[in-house]
Structure 1
């Protein structure tokens, strides 16, 4: 892969819903290159409530990681990102999906993984598919759309303001 450790831009946040309240917190920048680290970090903050992570990577794609017993439920917004990003390739590896070929770059990007990863928070598979296919939006804006639909946009924006893009 082509991403040197620590060179990835973007953000990773942990989202926890406990006792009817949302909490959003930033995760370490190093986790943008470390899927196992993201899974571990979310498991540590989950407590008794449901928890997941949202990563926006280099204005290119997003990843949603939701630990489940025995592994993690994953969604990668653009499977072709696995050609250039280790974390995207790691998501496909855990999903047991082959990395696309260079020829696939000519096609429109497509998501891989569990489109229903947040269905229990009011984001059905069809809506997640629409968010993933919205190529006019940056990944942080796509994640803000998800946060709005699930009901934690205020908490999300307080931690990560998409208007602050460098």
Structure 2
């Protein structure tokens, strides 16, 4: 199996609490191609509130993962990404959701655990709204980048500055 190309807009960030403070570090871009590998890396980082992984792919979609003890919660920002991207397809397989037919997709639909961050202050409706703003075909004013969506999530969860620094490193800003 050929390795998928890694885009200059791809990133993977690990977020965790240490000494009552959120920290965010850049992970190797190669983990953006392998859900199992990404979960494995997240399991290695202990954290008070669980470990969070946020991966942005090709400025098109993101995957959010949260590991708390043995529980793994996963969210894919757009189910349609599974048509073209191995990581998105792996997320749907993990969630036991079939890859949709292209003709069935007319809007951005998230898949997975929309309550992934509810206990941290980001409810399902807000997270769904963040995902829907990534609809580049929408007449509304979508964000320019997946990083905007991830930064919005980070700001609502209280680690906006740490995420901003990590994204600057990851994206070479």
TM-score > 0.5 by shorter chain: yes
Q: CA deviation at 1:33?
A: 0.2
Q: CA deviation at 1:109?
A: 1.6
Stretches of 4+ aligned residues off by more than 4 angstroms: 68-71
Report what 1:143 is aligned to.
150
Report what 2:43 is aligned to.
43
Q: How does 1:83-94 map to 2 (within 5 A)?
A: 83-94=83-94
Report what 1:30 is aligned to.
30
Report what 2:60 is aligned to.
60
| SS of aligned partner of 1:108 | coil
Q: How many residues align?
A: 162
Q: CA deviation at 1:58?
A: 0.3
Report what 2:139 is aligned to.
none
Moved more, 84-93 or 61-70: 61-70
Report what 1:5 is aligned to.
3
**In structure 2, how many angstroms separate the alpha carbons of the residues matched to 1:112 and 1:165?**
30
> Gaps (5+ residues) in structure 2?
135-141
| SS of aligned partner of 1:45 | coil
Q: TM-score, normalised by structure 2?
A: 0.86
Report what 1:122 is aligned to.
121
> Gaps (5+ residues) in structure 1?
none
Q: 1:154 to 1:70 in 2, by over 3 A?
A: closer
